[in-house]
Amino acid sequence: MELDFLKPGDFFDLSSFAYKELFDGCALAWEPLGRISDYLAEKLEANVSEVGCFGRPLEKTVVLWKGRVLDGGFEILGGDVTKGKFRVKICGEETSDAAVLFAGATLWDDRIFVGPGAVLEPGALVKGPTVIGAQTEVRQGAYVRGKCVIGRQCIVGHTTEVKSSIMLDGAKAGHFAYIGDSILGGRTNLGAGTKLANLKIRGTTVRVMIRHQLVDTGLRKLGAILGDEVEIGCNAVTNPGTILGRQSLVYPVTSVRPFYYEPKSVVR
């Protein structure tokens, strides 16, 4: 069976995504996941080395601004991070381009980029290699486990764990979510308690039912591929290899089987 309807462009608008090179030449929507490590090894421009505090919580709030790390001389004014309204006053100048790493946040190592206007709240832990895009909010208790590419204006929420995954611009996982080996399209939203399971109990490779044919992805770990503007209700679980087309809707407390769902599907 031809799978030419499973190209990344069938699921995601990549025109303004800063890291769209990850998807170049991919024939299948899940293929970029296997490229994350090499991509970050080549392209990551880490900007936290001067923070100088790794593997333990920051003792002081620091600001990243214009290539500098500031541990004083600023005032946090606050505001909505993902709308670009989080303001910091530096030397009398108000800006929304300063990234803020609050005291109590932990950078595990220095292989991390934090974009302008992004915020890491107290209790967040980020491991490299990882990109945190501009105006993205990593909330209290979040765990970013590395090999993550997180775009602009995303939310990694309270006690949410992300590993080996890609979040396109505007993707939000606000509360108690697990995102493993998955791609979240632009403006997707995971309701509280959503789990994107990535490993089969029996330990076999992930297979997906695609238009009445069972396709073996050859991957031991594959979570979910969520097209742009997918909405998942609270406490839903996607089984390994779930592929949801653009603007699909999953009802709360649903166990989603590993199928390919056409765009605008409603899954109960």
Domains and CATH numbers, the chain: 8-267 (2.160.10.10)
CA distances from 91 to 67, 73, 75, 88, 219 (A): 16, 7, 9, 10, 51
Residue 114 CA from chain centroid, whole number: 13
Question: In percent, how much of the chain has pLDDT > 90?
Answer: 97
To the question of pTM greater than 0.85 for the whole model, the response is yes
Q: Find out whether 130 and 118 touch, Cβ atoms under 8 Å.
A: no
**Mean residue pLDDT across the chain:** 97
| Among 227, 153, 167, 162, residue whose Cα is nearest residue 196 | 162
pLDDT at 1: 67
Q: What is the spatial distance between Cα 214 and Cα 207, in angstroms, rounded to a whole number? A: 6
Element (H, E) at 215: strand 213-216
Range 182-198 average pLDDT: 98
